[in-house]
């Protein structure tokens, strides 16, 4: 079921085309940047997109322009975990491309989990209850479940990635809101 949903989402995003992806990315970024939780956050963790993901450069630039601390995920595949590392910007000389094709500030030490205010969370799909279907590695679920993490968790997706429901397990960590190019969905109650 999960692999079928992932395949359908990949096809839907591929069908959008480059120009539509750019337009939808700008719209979603503007909605996210306008959130009061984003505005009041001092330290924000933003993933750096891979191909066929919603572009995050506008969000990265907004964090830097506002003088906020910018963090980005650093994946440690050997121990199947990740941490947040400080990022100077999209052209940070510390950025390397990992085996997963993700740009990461690899030499940045782990940022204290309790000092992150806002996290932009990617997924293959989100549902109307804030549940997420990731890429299958469980990195974000392990990261988001750490004791001491009190950050606002904001999913970011194309409207095509928002589904009525996604398969979940007890270890899956839902987000507090999902922002798409068409809306902001705040999750207040979960089944």
Q: pLDDT tens digits for 3-58?
A: 899 899 999 999 998 999 999 999 999 999 999 999 999 999 999 988 778 999 99
C-alpha neighbours within 13 Å on the C-beta side of residue 69 = 14
pLDDT confidence of residue 52: 75
In this structure, what are the phi and psi dihedrals at residue 19, rounded to the nearest 5 degrees? -65, -45
As a whole number of angstroms, the longest Cα–Cα distance in the chain is 44
Indicate if the pLDDT at residue 171 is higher than 90.
Answer: no
CA dihedral 135, 137, 139, 142 (to 10 degrees): 120
Please give the model's pTM, rounded to 2 decimal places: 0.92
Tell me the mean pLDDT in the region 175-188.
94
Give the C-alpha separation, 137 to 155, whole Å.
17
Using a 10 angstrom Cβ sphere, with 0-12 exposed, 13-18 middle and 19 or more buried, the burial of residue 14 is: exposed
Query: Residue 189 above 70 pLDDT?
Result: no
Domains and CATH numbers, the chain: 2-82+91-177 (3.40.50.10420)
DSSP 8-state code for residue 127: E
Q: How far apart are CA 73 and CA 137, in angstroms?
A: 14
Average pLDDT over residues 90-117: 84
At 190 the pLDDT is 46
Torsion angle in degrees (nearest 10) through CA of 121, 125, 129, 131: -60
Query: What average pLDDT does range 107-118 have in this prediction?
Result: 94
The angle, 0 to 180 degrees and rounded to 10, between the axes of the packed helices 57-65 and 18-33 is 30
């Amino acid at each position: 079921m999960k692999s079928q949903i992932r395949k359908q989402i990949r096809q839907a995003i591929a069908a959008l085309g480059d120009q539509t992806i750019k337009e939808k990315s700008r719209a979603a970024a503007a909605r996210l940047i306008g959130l009061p939780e984003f505005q009041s956050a001092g330290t924000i963790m933003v993933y750096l997109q891979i191909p066929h993901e919603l572009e995050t450069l506008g969000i990265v630039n907004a964090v830097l322009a506002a003088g906020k601390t910018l963090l980005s995920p650093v994946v440690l595949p050997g121990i199947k975990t990740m941490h947040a590392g400080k990022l100077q910007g999209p052209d940070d000389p510390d950025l390397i491309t990992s085996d997963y094709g993700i740009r990461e500030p690899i030499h940045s030490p782990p940022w204290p989990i309790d000092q992150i205010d806002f996290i932009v969370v990617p997924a293959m799909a989100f549902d109307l209850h804030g549940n997420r279907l990731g890429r299958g590695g469980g990195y974000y679920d392990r990261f988001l479940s750490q004791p001491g993490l009190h950050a606002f968790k904001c999913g970011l997706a194309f409207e095509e990635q928002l589904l009525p429901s996604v398969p979940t397990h007890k270890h899956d960590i839902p987000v507090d809101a999902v922002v798409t190019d068409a809306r902001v969905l705040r999750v207040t109650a979960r089944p």
